[in-house]
Structure 1
């Protein structure tokens, strides 16, 4: 019976018929299971636990948190499927999204939903294209994989690539604007402002040129205003940014506050060090320019030069050989 079914699929859909039938059956099962998952009601015990933990009704908690978007409410039903099972993996994913600039509480769910949707959607499109292609001509297994599995893998890993690029861009922006922010903070502190006021001023002034750095400073200012300890807020900032320069900066401020030393002196020394590091990074990039220009020089300068120098001789030689 199995051989008969296999032969029927091969005769109808081509050599890749069994694979197409298996993929189509998987998509059908997923579509049939979605209504059941969507209709699943929330456990009343979870609601009671949240109310006891916060001592506030659900509506009040939503208002305090700023509310959630309708899309986030829909993803709440898929929390068991869109969030990692272990706490370590969940915290690692959340930290990665924080470093990429996604501070929403539903960022982890949206990230995994994007992976699932892109992977499954591109897989369905690939299967449809492969089915249409197989009706016109026979397809090999390699061609079938190129039409289905490879695009699905690209769609699944595309959100990871996007988040990694966002992290690199934000870190590069923060690194570029950090020395100027330190100089401005030093000026504010020496002018008589407190550290919290200088952080707020730097955040406001840096928004035009370095929005990522301004966002981090404003977050620090808001958390300090909310009553959180400054040392904890600064450590959270260093962990959230993930740069050695920011970690050293926060450590310097925490030590200055703990031992009662002058914050202005610490900022003066550290800002001078950051300026030196910026000059060193610029010199390092300048030293790599000749190496990068070598390939371009060989490709765009040497061939025209050879044509100019050797071209006339080759032309005369060809003319003489033709005339002879």
Structure 2
């Protein structure tokens, strides 16, 4: 094993160097693959001079598919104004470099195969950690939007039946709660207040979210507005369907619990239980035969 340590260390260094070279000098230029997801006020014109920050230049060297995925996840996370693709790529560069250094150090000083495997696993974890964290943040926000939608529709239905208009009911429901769905509704109302058409504001709302239930609801409202259907009836039907779907999802999650419990039960609980129950008997048998 000691003879293989130099080769493993050289391979790890080569792997880290290849990753860094890919992040910095990838040949495919970035194009605005997801510019349609952003509002016109948020889309910045592409500058041709060299005054752009280093993080943006670094992002321009990466493939379109990767930068487009990062931009979508940033939008779904609700951090469009705070985070950028260039900043995320720069963060990934530093995290990857740190992971490679730590992994190579663990491999170089390793005395057994376990430490070598731990070093390799550590490098892989640092490599994918930024994407996992960003995707988790986006999924959590979209899940919160989907869960809050039925209750929000119930509030809007009550407000419309009480005599408010659809925008007034939306404003009342958005002001009566807190969460990502309320923030998105407030932003949609602000878009219509500054002069955007209702259709464009709804399209921007759909671009900022990834909830299929919300997409279906917005499309139903657009069709009701186009064909003159009663908004109260549409809200009532949509709220009832959302509640049924939420109940079905809860039942599905409950049915998956026994399967998810099998792994910790078999590999964590049962071995400890067997040790506690059988250890005194084993000691008695050993003492009897000795």
User: Structure 2 vs 1, CA of residues 17 and 239 (structure 1 numbering), >3 Å: closer, same or farther?
Assistant: closer
* In 1: Cα distance, 2:60 partner to 2:94 partner: 14
Q: TM-score, normalised by structure 2?
A: 0.68
Alpha-carbon shift at residue 287 of structure 1 (Å): 3.4
Tell me the equivalent position of 1:101: 78
Who wins on radius of gyration, i.e. which is larger? Answer: 1
Which digits, 9 at most, give the CA deviation of each residue in 1:273-299, with x for residues without a partner? Answer: 111112222222333445556778888
The residue aligned with 2:10 is 19
What is the TM-score normalised by the length of structure 1? 0.62
Q: Does 1:193 align with 2:164?
A: yes
- Counterpart in the other structure of 1:287: 255
Provide closer, same or farther for how the CA distance between residues 255 and 18 of structure 1 changes in structure 2, counting only shifts above 3 A: closer
User: Aligned-pair RMSD on alpha carbons?
Assistant: 4.5
Distance 2:208 2:97 in 1: 31
Counterpart pick for 2:191 among 220, 223, 233: 223
Q: Paired residue for 2:223?
A: 255
Instruction: Map Cα deviations across residues 131-169 of structure 1 (whole Å, 9 max, x no partner).
Output: xx85xx78799966854x643432231110001111221
Higher helix share: 1
2:250 equivalent to 1:266: no
1:89 Cα deviation from its structure 2 partner: 4.8
- Structure number with higher relative contact order (C-alpha < 8 Å, ≥ 6 residues apart): 2
For residue 15 of structure 1, give the secondary structure of its aligned residue in structure 2.
Answer: helix
Does the CA contact (< 8 Å) of 2:55 and 2:90 recur in 1? no
Instruction: Confirm whether residue 124 of structure 1 aligns to residue 92 of structure 2.
Output: no
Question: By how many angstroms is 1:261 displaced?
Answer: 1.4
Cα distance, 1:223 vs. partner?
1.5
1:87/1:201 CA distance change after superposition, 3 Å: farther
Structure 1 consecutive aligned stretches of length 4 or more whose deviation exceeds 6 Å: 137-145, 294-305, 317-322
In structure 2, stretches of 5+ residues that fail to align are 25-40, 43-50
Q: CA deviation at 1:244?
A: 1.2
Q: For residues 84 and 90 of structure 1, do their structure 2 counterparts lie closer, same or farther at Cα, with a shift above 3 Å needed?
A: farther
Deviations 1:107-145 (A, max 9, x none): 211211111110112323444x35xx85xx787999668
Give the aligned partner of residue 6 of structure 1: none
Structure 1 residue 201 displacement after superposition: 2.1
Give the C-alpha shift of residue 77 in structure 1.
3.0
Q: Distance in 1 between matches of 2:272 and 2:6?
A: 50
2:182 pairs with 1:205: no
Counterpart CA distance in 2 for 1:94 and 1:167 is 11
Q: Any conservation in 2 of the 1:249–1:270 contact (CA below 8 Å)? A: yes
In structure 2, relative to structure 1, the CA distance for the partners of 1:169 and 1:141 (3 Å cut) is same
Aligned pair in 2 of structure 1 residues 159, 18: CA closer, same or farther (>3 Å)? closer
Aligned equivalents of 2:258 and 2:83: distance in 1? 47
| Structure 1: gaps spanning 5 or more residues | 1-13, 34-63, 66-73
